[in-house]
Amino acid sequence: MSTEHVELHCETCDLDTSHELHYAGRLLESTRCTRCGTHLEVNPRTMLPAYAHDLEKRILSKPGRMLRRARKDPWGYLRSLPGAVLRQPVKFVREFSEVLRRKS
Ligand SMILES: [Zn+2]
């Protein structure tokens, strides 16, 4: 388990706050707001396949805008996507965590 800190938007604080990202190996497992302590689990098994596919299509079709939005508000972004469980959860979580790491 490794940890890193990034600035993310916290819905509870309604602010950009420092978040701890917890990685299990290379996969993002959970995030925690260091201001209010809100903890979010990233569980690929609970996500729907259509989700990842849709995200991929959106990122491929509108790379700049979607990546900026995903970086700014990743959890809101995830919730805004239609569909339910990931078909490629590992690939998705890896790509998503790379988006988070790629700070501008
Ligand atoms: Zn917070």
Q: How do residues 69-89 score in pLDDT, each as one tens digit?
A: 677 777 776 666 544 334 445
Beta-carbon count within 10 A of 15 CB = 13
Position 84 scores a pLDDT of 37
Q: How many A from CA of 10 to the centre of ligand 1?
A: 5
pLDDT at residue 6 above 70? Answer: yes
Give per-residue pLDDT as tens, 16-27. Answer: 999 998 887 767
Q: How far is the CA of 26 from the centre of ligand 1 (A)?
A: 24
Average pLDDT of the chain is 71
Q: Which domain holds residue 90?
A: 2-101
Within its chain, how far is the Cα of 22 from the centroid? 12
Q: How many domains does the chain have?
A: 1
26 neighbors 42 (Cβ within 8 angstroms) = no
| Element (DSSP H or E) covering residue 98 | helix 89-101
CA of 16 to the centre of ligand 1 (A): 8
Tokens of 4: 């890193």
The CA 72 to ligand 1 mean position distance, Å, reads: 15
